[in-house]
Structure 1
Amino acid sequence: MKFWDWYLKIAVGSAMVGGSMELFMIKTDDKVAVLESEKRAWESSPEAQAMRDALNPWRHQEKEAEKSS
């Protein structure tokens, strides 16, 4: 193989990049879990439901379409 050393360098570099990405994901997993649980708690709150209702001007049309079908 003519370019064997080039392929080896690419493989080692790719393994290092992939390993560093996995390490980053492992280190930030707890923070992401906390943020996701806070997001889910907010989305199920009455304030969030009121905001969704206020920002959806077609909610009455959707309800009428559901009733007629």
Structure 2
Amino acid sequence: MKFLGWYLKIALGSTVVGGSMEMFMIKTGFYDKVTILEAEKREWENSPEAQAMREALNPWNKQKAETRESP
């Protein structure tokens, strides 16, 4: 209980800083921009071009297929 005052000051300061950051992000439209970017990212990841790129860049893809056919 010796340092209770310090803990309360740190908790209060952290709350103020965190709340200020959240208000800044809300006022600047940060969450709207991130939502749009995430939707575009998911859309691209599910596209045929992205699937072809993943398959082309996976060097173990052929090895897995060969080991399944071998036995």
Same fold (TM over 0.5): yes
Q: 1:65 Cα deviation (Å)? A: 4.8
User: 1:14 aligns to what?
Assistant: 14
2:35 corresponding residue in structure 1: 33
CA RMSD of aligned residues (A): 2.7
Seen in structure 2, the aligned counterparts of structure 1 residues 67 and 17 have a Cα distance that, compared at 3 Å, is: farther
Deviation, structure 1 residue 3: 6.5
- Tell me by how many angstroms 1:9 deviates: 3.9
Q: Any idea what the Cα deviations from partners look like across 1:13-66, whole Å, max 9, x if unmatched?
A: 222111022224434110000000000011011111111111101112223456
What is the identity, as a one-letter code, of the residue corresponding to 2:35?
A: A
- Whichever residue aligns with residue 58 of structure 2, its letter is N
The percent identity for this pair of structures is 69
What is the rounded CA distance, in whole Å, between the counterparts of 2:17 and 2:36 in structure 1? 26
Taking a change above 3 Å as real, the CA distance of residues 3 and 59 of structure 1, as seen in their structure-2 partners, is closer
**Counterpart in the other structure of 2:47:** 45
TM-score by length of 2: 0.67
Equivalent pairs counted in the alignment come to: 69
Bigger mean CA deviation after superposition, 35-44 or 10-19 = 10-19
